[in-house]
Structure 1
Amino acid sequence: MRNIGCCTWIFDNEPIEETARRVKDIGLNGVELHGNIHSIDPVQAGKIFADQGLQIFSITPGDADISHPDRIIRQDAVDYYKQLIDWVLKINQTPSPPLISCHGLVQRIRPVSNQEEENNLLVESIKQICNMARQVNTEIVFEVLNRYESHQVRTLREGLNLIEHVKSPNLRLLADAYHMNIEEANPAASLREAGEYIGLYHAADSNRGAIGEGHTDFTSQMIALNDIQYQGPIILEIAAPGPDPFNTNKGEGFKEILEQQLKKSVNAIRAFNN
């Protein structure tokens, strides 16, 4: 049976002890932990989730502008990933550390200088990040976003082009059903084209809700994941209904709504894979 997790950031700034108990009660197998290197003790986090029998599958990064034309801003962003890699290793998860997700500054939807320059800068920064991660046997998954969140790498084909230019054996792609709903003409076909380069898969329906609450064809995507022999987890990154997609706190009772959405999604995924 395929492992299923969820992103911890969807519960806002909830203490991770509460999140671990909540995730366990929902019936998930693990989490994608928010990489808040200043507020979360990685040693403690590793123990909290392990004590609940949960795995930390991957890490959601903080925002960092790794393709900004200003060298100082860009270097600060790369330095964040250096700190994040060190932080992840302290989680001390065996047999392998969590995957580290990587992307540019969310909501920067146009170049500061020009597209070509910033695409080249993105490649150079990803090379540095992958090199740092490779030295400690850690893998990077680059998340393919959408046009409303990024001006770079918005389709899996563009992600494959990034991999071709970076040329690092520890770089793969994070495919997200919500983003693909916006950018991909045929998400299932795109998953097949990316094939072995899919390192992680996020799931939320077309309205960022639970699986089955929108119009995304998850059956075709699950078949595609099976066809490419994707062995990783499905990470749920859903949100309770309401405005402001970048703020998961939708007001009183939103966590209870999220719990029901997560349970509904887990049941749907397990039905697909039976």
Structure 2
Amino acid sequence: MSEKMNRRKLLKNLGLGAGVLSFSNISGIFASELDLTPETLSSGKIKHSVCRWCYQDIPLEDFAKACVKMGISGIDLLRPSEWDIVEKEGLVCSMATDDFANIIEGFNDLKNHGDLQEKYSGLIKKASEHNIKNVICFSGNRNGMDEETGIINCVKGLTPLLDYAQELNVNLVMELLNSKVDHEDYMCDHTDWGVRLAKRLNKPNFKLLYDIYHMQIMEGDVIRTIRENHQYINHYHTAGVPGRHEINDSQELNYPAIMEAIHATGFDGFVAQEFIPTYKDKLAALREGIQICDI
């Protein structure tokens, strides 16, 4: 193993657990021994991102600068007004959104199609102009609708947008969310439903956002599910179960094993941290999450 990798492993070991050390503490102790560059902190196996909404109390420019220092290369769920801020720091918007993107009122309801198609067309065009590859979308709630009708309606609503987005080299990515704890009645709440929709659409630029937290709650069996369905997934989110907090040993998921399974599929997209920090130092919590996933 190279000296650089040994240093990275040492830093990871120092950062994990309840007594997380800050970068300033580590720098003070090991300044002459460790090269604290982003490359030192990342193995390159996992491309790291983070969801902005979990750190809203940190100004975006400051947050972007901190992300760069951690080896994070993307920030999820940014609106168009925020893209220039992170791009100035050398980051990308790894998953685009806007205010109209609605978890409850989605593509499974025909009455939403006209409005969603108009607004998503605009967002897709803006994303393309910024070389942003992924735009998030949602199924919407069931509201008594059966699953097959939901798939049929989503196909009708998404197909023209996917044709347009493909011309602009943009993916539409539907998030898998749990309907048990956080998003009651949401339709795309199992991997099987999302995969059935993807197969029915049969479009290369329609993919799933596999949220590990949400799918652990709904179905478990995370690693096998990823192995069997990875071709339909182009993005991952993390959080601890239960509670949606840090992904360390305070919760039930084995994130290093999950990351190894994701890497083994040949995945080259982003894994975004989406846990709600409980540490007083929220950036220390994020740093710990990145280190846990940086296999």
Match of 2:129 among 73, 78, 90: 90
Corresponding residue SS for 2:244: coil
Corresponding residue of 2:176: 144
Corresponding residue of 1:182: 217
Distance in 1, matches of 2:71 and 2:264, equals 26
Match of 1:261 among 285, 290, 295: 285
The answer to whether the 8 Å contact 1:61/1:102 transfers is no
Larger radius of gyration: 2
Tell me the CA shift for residue 166 of structure 1.
1.0
Corresponding residue SS for 2:220: coil
Tell me the CA shift for residue 77 of structure 1.
2.1
Distance in 2, matches of 1:82 and 1:15, equals 29
Mapped pair 1:209 → 2:245: yes
For structure 2, which runs of at least 5 residues remain unmatched after alignment? 1-43
The count of corresponding residues between Structure 1 and Structure 2 is: 243
Corresponding residue SS for 1:201: strand
The answer to whether the 8 Å contact 1:4/1:30 transfers is yes
The answer to whether the 8 Å contact 1:130/1:170 transfers is yes
Distance in 2, matches of 1:169 and 1:152, equals 22
Match of 1:7 among 44, 51, 55: 51
Match of 1:154 among 179, 189, 196: 189
Paired amino acid for 1:51: K
The answer to whether the 8 Å contact 1:29/1:54 transfers is yes
Distance in 1, matches of 2:223 and 2:156, equals 30
Corresponding residue SS for 1:157: helix
TM-score, normalised on structure 2?
Answer: 0.73
Q: Aligned Cα RMSD in Å?
A: 2.4
Tell me the CA shift for residue 135 of structure 1.
1.9
Distance in 1, matches of 2:293 and 2:195, equals 27
Tell me the CA shift for residue 178 of structure 1.
0.7
Deviations 1:21-56 (A, max 9, x none): 232344422211423x5xx16xxx23x323322222
TM-score, normalised on structure 1?
Answer: 0.79
Match of 2:202 among 156, 163, 167: 167
The answer to whether the 8 Å contact 1:7/1:236 transfers is yes
For structure 1, which runs of at least 5 residues remain unmatched after alignment? 242-253
Paired amino acid for 1:227: A
Corresponding residue SS for 2:106: coil
